[in-house]
Structure 1
Amino acid sequence: MDLQGKVIAALPARSGTSARGEWKAQDFVIETHENYPHKMVFSVFGEERLQRFNIQVGQEVTVSFDIDAHEYNGRWFNSIRAYDVRLVDPATLGAGVAAPEPFGAAPNAASSPAPDGAQAPFPPQQAAEGESADDLPF
């Protein structure tokens, strides 16, 4: 799976020794650019990958990752491990993606023509004199 976002945090690196020898890992947090941004923490395992990816806070990246779960003392934990991290050119951020229309906005006639004689599902409401056009209480 892939996810694109901005690196907002780099957690301290961890290292240790296992039966296979020395190991090093580090966790990073990215935030997506959606209307309601999501955050994801992912791990990069291996000193050679950490050096090759050279992830810095503030970079725009695309993370390719695998999700796995493991059990420990009767509880289950997710693990999100990155196998590839690519820098994204900030100039291309959002290119090719149409900006969503605001909620309640009238559709653009050029982008979605209505068939002849078709009407909108709900006609626009007319505000009475001295009243607001919306029905919000504030």
Structure 2
Amino acid sequence: MALEITGTLIKKLDVQTGNSARGEWQKQEFIIETTDNFPKKVCLNVWGPEKVSEISGYREGEVLKISFNAESREFNQRWYTDLRAWKIERADQSSNDMSYSVPESTSFPTAPDTDSDTGEDDLPF
């Protein structure tokens, strides 16, 4: 399930590292604030050294467009949900790609005046 959110980068939390059966891992969480009428703060995360270095390229205060997956898992009869970002881009960059020029309105020619007093009727009935 891929979702998308746009918001202002509020804070980048510290990088977390560890070892698992598959080797070393890196994870970084960051907070954005949505640009809705009623703004909400949302915590998302990225996994892997490539994504961690990618998020370090963004500054706090920048408006980002983030594609992410929501993943939940159970541990000790409690459920935990991750919002894992897989694509991050500046919001102004994506809006420029989709900008379209609106053609100026063209006026239509006016219909010719018909004279109904001449007695001529073009209608077949």
Q: What's the TM-score once normalised by structure 1's chain length?
A: 0.62
Q: Residue 88 of structure 2: which of 85, 88, 93 is its match?
A: 85
Structure 2 counterparts to residues 1-138 of structure 1, below 5 A:
1-53=3-55, 54-89=57-92
Cα distance in 1 for partners of 2:64, 2:88 equals 7
Quote the offset at 1:87 in angstroms.
1.1
Q: Secondary structure at the match of 1:11?
A: strand
Query: Which consecutive residues of structure 2, in runs of 5 or more, have no partner in the other structure?
Result: 100-125
Cα distance in 1 for partners of 2:58, 2:23 equals 24
Per-residue CA deviation, residues 56-82 of structure 1 (Å, 9 max, x unaligned), is 211110010000110010111111100
Cα distance in 2 for partners of 1:13, 1:89 equals 27
Structure having the larger proportion of residues in strand: 2
Q: Secondary structure at the match of 1:56?
A: coil
Task: Supply the AA of the counterpart residue of 2:58.
Answer: I
Cα distance in 1 for partners of 2:38, 2:89 equals 23
Query: Which consecutive residues of structure 1, in runs of 5 or more, have no partner in the other structure?
Result: 97-138
Q: Secondary structure at the match of 1:13?
A: strand
Task: Supply the AA of the counterpart residue of 1:66.
Answer: N
Structure having the larger proportion of residues in helix: 2
Cα distance in 1 for partners of 2:92, 2:4 equals 16
Quote the offset at 1:89 in angstroms.
2.1
Q: Which runs of 4+ in 1 moved over 2 A?
A: 52-56
- Structure having the higher Rg: 2
Query: Aligned-residue CA RMSD in angstroms?
Result: 2.1
Cα distance in 2 for partners of 1:82, 1:74 equals 26
